[in-house]
Structure 1
Amino acid sequence: MTTKPVVVGADGSPQSLRAVEWAASEARRHGAPLRIISVPVLPPRMRPDISSTRTVADVIRDESAAWLDAAVARSKEIAPELPLDTSLLSGAPAQVLTDCGVGALMLVVGASSTSGLASMLLGSVSRYVAQHATCPVVVVGQEKSTGHRKVAVGVSDRHDAAATLAFAFDEAALRQADLLVIHSSADEEVPAWLTDWYEKYPGVTVSQQVCQGHPARVLASHSASADLLVIGRHGAPHPADVGGIQRAVLSHARGPVAVVPAED
């Protein structure tokens, strides 16, 4: 049980409702409260119709409130007993979502959207949040989970992977799932840096795979057969190589991807 909430963004699209479903299940799994937020977006070139007493902003805000209602209904279908909070916020969606991750257990967003302006914005929003949030960010794609009972985690730098491994092992333990560790330590049968994790999580069955090929392609391929793919994010801002791998994985993954920031 934790008091830190699972926070999820809702924009009315099918993808965001799928993210709400995933977030509700995850909150129930952790014994955590669920917080659903929506951020209305008013395009800068739109102006209210002077012949109407209602402005464009009013219409968009009402639409966002309806999205929240739909998201709440969907979450209650998944976990009716969850403590639930909703917020209709204003501002730049990427920054608002990122700020909402402060103090959260994790932040959940949809990978893409099919609705007008949201379709244009959400890809960049999810990438921004994944690169800047202080908590783990889970990007839920269009593929529905089929219950593989497997979590996969990619480790590019074992010296900077404690938070990523902790998240992955916790998820595997909570799901009673196997864990696949994808790494580059080809010179050891069982890398020494994994030994402590074996001892800390004796109930998790762990297998390993040495990454052969382009890391993003290898990781994305495993997303199709895992309930969750976990990757890390280095503490240094905007490292070009890691950012490129993140973007490629998020673009081609066929299941939920968790991006975990490194510990300070």
Structure 2
Amino acid sequence: MTHDDVVLVGVDGSATSLHALDWAAAEARAHGLRLKLVCSYALPAFTAASLDGGYAALDDTAIQAGAKAVLAEAQERVEHRGVPSTASVVTGDAAAVLVEMSRTARMAVVGTRGRGGFADRLLGTVSSALPAHAYCPTVVVPARPGGVDPLDTAPVEPVRRIVVGVDGSPASDVALRHAIREAKAWGAELTAVAGVPVGSGSGLLAWLPAAVDHEAVLRDIAEGLDVVIDRAVADDPGLEVKRHVLDGTGAELLTEFSTATDLIVVGSRGRGGFAGLLLGSTSQAVLHHSACPVMVVTRRCEEGGARPTGRVRDMGDLYP
């Protein structure tokens, strides 16, 4: 599978997608990549029978025009960033469209679509499905507090602090490699966090026999973390990675770090088989509650896959 030098961005004209677009433009610029903006829509199924016994057809000319207008505004917005871009209107379910197009993208970026109040902590359909199914790393960008002024084209804050969850699994190894790439591209500080729930009377270490030295177990985990990180940065000896083994679950710790971090990177193991297309509990929890953008990297991103199937109907680039 060949990944093109593009960052794929889902755009729908909402404030959340504008914020995600701003973030994606900064990411593309940091890596020297192009943007591919996509606006998709699915036509409703009409059951009202027409006079000839068939079904009523919907002229989607107006819908296409609206989608093209959204993309035109989005491209005008990223022109201020100095990042080259193309834009396409695609018919189909948004999540399915972006998953299919992720086969040849370096990264996919989407915003969250909560429903107000407490539900703002919940993800929309696309931001839930895409990280689990994508063939490339996916970044979900939470809504900016106070919303986004469509006329505000000031650059987003650069990524200066990155935190990656590491637990020794193959999935977290993949996440660590991508976190290192991000840290190098941005010149950012990188911190690796391993969570071990040792809280009073509960947690992983509570299951160990009383004779077992819990502190020794934590030291062993810290040594294991050093081995994993040292191996990952072997080709980048100048890159410093801070390391922390902390009391708590990975989800709890990464969510806490998100309030003072610019990017969280997390791997996802899923559960194997068909269920492997679902995100693991840690990545789901972090996505739902993080205060900063979250990059989800599954092993699928590096295992390769088939070339695009052509099932997605691309209306073509608006502005090559």
- Deviations 1:31-68 (Å, cap 9, x if unpaired)? 11110000024344698xxxxxx956333222211111
Aligned: 1:67 with 2:70: yes
Aligned: 1:260 with 2:297: yes
Q: Pairwise CA RMSD of aligned residues?
A: 2.9
Deviates more, 1:231-240 or 1:148-157: 231-240
The whole-number CA distance in structure 1 between the counterparts of 2:247 and 2:160 is 24
For residues 103-142 of structure 1, the aligned pairs below 5 Å read 103-112=104-113, 123-142=124-143
Counterpart in 2 of 1:178?
Answer: 189
- Deviations 1:63-82 (Å, cap 9, x if unpaired)? 211111111111112x22x2
Deviation at 1:216, TM superposition (A): 1.5
Shift of the 175–133 alpha-carbon distance from structure 1 to 2, 3 Å rule, reads: same
Shift of the 58–148 alpha-carbon distance from structure 1 to 2, 3 Å rule, reads: closer
Q: TM-score, normalised by structure 2?
A: 0.70
Counterpart in 2 of 1:196?
Answer: 231
Shift of the 73–169 alpha-carbon distance from structure 1 to 2, 3 Å rule, reads: same
Counterpart in 2 of 1:51?
Answer: none
Q: Residues 13 and 113 of structure 1 are in contact (CA less than 8 Å); yes or no, is this contact kept in structure 2?
A: no
Counterpart in 1 of 2:178?
Answer: 167
Shift of the 163–46 alpha-carbon distance from structure 1 to 2, 3 Å rule, reads: farther
Q: Secondary structure at the match of 1:21?
A: helix
Counterpart in 1 of 2:256?
Answer: 221
Counterpart in 2 of 1:14?
Answer: 15
Deviates more, 1:175-184 or 1:208-217: 208-217
1:230 pairs with one of 242, 265, 268: 265
Deviation at 1:114, TM superposition (A): 6.7
Q: Residues 5 and 27 of structure 1 are in contact (CA less than 8 Å); yes or no, is this contact kept in structure 2?
A: yes
Counterpart in 1 of 2:306?
Answer: none
Deviation at 1:251, TM superposition (A): 1.1
Aligned length: 251
Counterpart in 2 of 1:50?
Answer: none
Looking at both structures, which has the greater relative contact order when contacts are Cα pairs under 8 Å and sequence separation is at least 6? 2
Task: State the percentage of identical aligned residues.
Answer: 33
Unaligned runs of at least 5 residues, structure 1: 48-53
Q: Residues 137 and 295 of structure 2 are in contact (CA less than 8 Å); yes or no, is this contact kept in structure 1?
A: yes
The structure that has the greater radius of gyration is 2
The whole-number CA distance in structure 2 between the counterparts of 1:88 and 1:166 is 33
The whole-number CA distance in structure 2 between the counterparts of 1:208 and 1:249 is 19
Deviation at 1:142, TM superposition (A): 1.3
Unaligned runs of at least 5 residues, structure 2: 49-56, 146-155, 197-217, 304-320
- Deviations 1:135-191 (Å, cap 9, x if unpaired)? 000001113765461100012343433321111001011111111101248323452
Q: Secondary structure at the match of 2:104?
A: coil
Shift of the 8–240 alpha-carbon distance from structure 1 to 2, 3 Å rule, reads: closer
Q: Aligned letter for 2:186?
A: R
Shift of the 168–219 alpha-carbon distance from structure 1 to 2, 3 Å rule, reads: same
For residues 33-112 of structure 1, the aligned pairs below 5 Å read 33-44=34-45, 57-77=60-80, 79-80=81-82, 82-112=83-113
- Deviations 1:204-257 (Å, cap 9, x if unpaired)? 321112242232121111112111100012273435995322222111111110
Deviation at 1:30, TM superposition (A): 0.9
Q: TM-score, normalised by structure 1?
A: 0.84
The whole-number CA distance in structure 2 between the counterparts of 1:199 and 1:26 is 25
